[in-house]
Amino acid sequence: MVDTSRIKEHMPVVGSDGGHVGTIDHLDGQRIKLTKTDPEAGGHHHFIHVDSIASVEGGQVRLNRTTAEAKDEWATA
C-alpha cells in the first residue's frame, strides 16, 4: 500500500514507462484528481484510483501501468 500522505499538490504523475500522465491537483478520497490545466488533460479534470500508484518517490507519483493504459482508464467524473 502506498503512503498517500506523501502525495502533494502539483506533483507530476508518470506511467510505468516514464511517460507524463498529468499533474496532481489533490487527493479526493481514494482517487487522485489531476489538474485540468495540464497539457495532457484537454481542459478536463481526470481521476486515477490510488490502486494505480506503484510509488511516490523523487517528487513524482509513478503508476503501475503505462501512460497509455492510465489514460485509457482515467475517469472525468
Q: What is the pLDDT of residue 65?
A: 97
Q: For the chain of 77 residues, list the mean pLDDT of each consecutive stretch of 10.
A: 91 98 95 95 94 96 97 86
Q: How many domains does the chain have?
A: 1
Give per-residue pLDDT as tens, 23-44.
Answer: 999 999 999 999 999 999 999 9
Distance CA 67, CA 6 (A): 21
CATH number, domain of 26, equals 2.30.30.240
**59: domain range?**
4-76
pTM of the model: 0.93
Length of the chain: 77
